Amino acid sequence: MAGTFKAVHADGYNKIMGRFSVTLAQQFIDFTGHPPGQRILDVGSGTGSLSFALAARGDHKEIVGVDVGEPFVAFAREHNKDSRTSFRIADATALPFEDASFDRAVSQLVLQFLPDPLKAVREMKRVVRPGGTVAACIWDAYGGQPHIRMLWDTAATLGFLKQHAIIRSLGTEGEIEATWRAAGLADVVPGELTMRFVFQNFHDYWSPYLGGDGPLGEMVMGLTPDNRGLLERKMRDIYLSNRPDGPRSFISAAWICKGTVP
């Protein structure tokens, strides 16, 4: 099942999100727990941020990362330094693994891009043994990411969006918990995490979108050159806010949830 995240260049994705998801991964792992000796499945592994963070702990039996984005899988394979970690192309809603194959299935920043996230969660549950953990985290793109929200809102105000729809699946309070319960998971624990996105200057903020990766990159590069230039000028004004160009820090929040396979 294809998602709605456009994977063009792994380096482009890392500039938009990957460099920050490393920090998020550490908090997410603390939330999910990390018992030693486990087989772990990373669903929607992207460029490998979560898998690499798990591998760095060194107490795993095996980590398998799966993603539908070929550029992402290729990047993760190229940068993998752990013999017990591997990456493959696979659909989150039709995982190519037998029932109860893993001790834990985790997913970071991908379920919100799937047309049917519940189906993916049920697949994660299927491939995890009874007593194992299924967990995920989702950005609160509507209320918890001002640096992204201000770009969407500015593009909408300028009339560049056919539909100004920021809320994605599992993106509102309680939705991820309800999905875990609908999937039949037990001992469901929801929560939230916060971290900061720090940009060194406006170029650091704006230039990653020019690669066309992800919804924002796709939107920016889908504009005419004139409209893209206008959007850039407006965003520069917002970013600078009457101060010299330089570092800016934006808080970001993510919804998280974990549950146990009965």
Pick the most confident of 20-24, 101-105, 167-171, 194-198. Answer: 101-105
More confident residue, 22 or 200: 200
Look at residue 16 in the predicted model and tell me its pLDDT: 75
Look at residue 2 in the predicted model and tell me its pLDDT: 42
Q: How confident is the model at residue 215 (pLDDT cuts 50, 70, 90)?
A: confident
What's the pLDDT tens digit per position in 144-192?
A: 999 999 999 999 999 999 887 788 889 899 999 999 999 999 999 999 9
Distance between CA atoms of residues 98 and 162, nearest Å: 42
In a domain, 190, yes or no: yes
In this structure, of 7-11, 20-24, 68-72, 104-108, the range with the lowest mean pLDDT score is: 7-11
Full-model pTM: 0.91
Helix axis angle for 225-240 and 146-157, nearest 10°, is 130
In a domain, 236, yes or no: no
CB 177: neighbour CB atoms within 10 A? 19
Three-class secondary structure of residue 259 per DSSP: strand
In a domain, 191, yes or no: yes
In a domain, 156, yes or no: no
Distance between CA atoms of residues 230 and 237, nearest Å: 11
In a domain, 128, yes or no: yes
In a domain, 25, yes or no: yes
Look at residue 50 in the predicted model and tell me its pLDDT: 96
In this structure, of 18-32, 179-193, 240-254, the range with the lowest mean pLDDT score is: 18-32
Quick check: 24 pLDDT over 70? yes
Q: pLDDT over 90 for what percent of the chain?
A: 83
User: Which domain covers residue 101, as residue numbers?
Assistant: 10-142+167-199+249-260
In a domain, 126, yes or no: yes
Q: Which residues contact 60 (CB under 8 A, 6 or more apart)?
A: 36, 37, 38, 39, 40, 54, 84, 85
Rounded to the nearest integer, the mean pLDDT of the chain is 93
More confident residue, 13 or 96: 96
Structure tokens belonging to residue 98 = 């037998």
Question: Residue 50: what residue type?
Answer: L
Quick check: 232 pLDDT over 70? yes
Look at residue 8 in the predicted model and tell me its pLDDT: 56
Residue 55: closest CA among 111, 106, 2: 106
- Mean pLDDT of the region 44-67: 96
CATH of residue 92's domain is: 3.40.50.150
Number of domains forming the structure of the chain: 1
Quick check: 1 pLDDT over 80? no
Distance between CA atoms of residues 5 and 99, nearest Å: 28
Structure tokens belonging to residue 110 = 């991908």
Q: How confident is the model at residue 248 (pLDDT cuts 50, 70, 90)?
A: very high
Look at residue 166 in the predicted model and tell me its pLDDT: 82
In a domain, 103, yes or no: yes
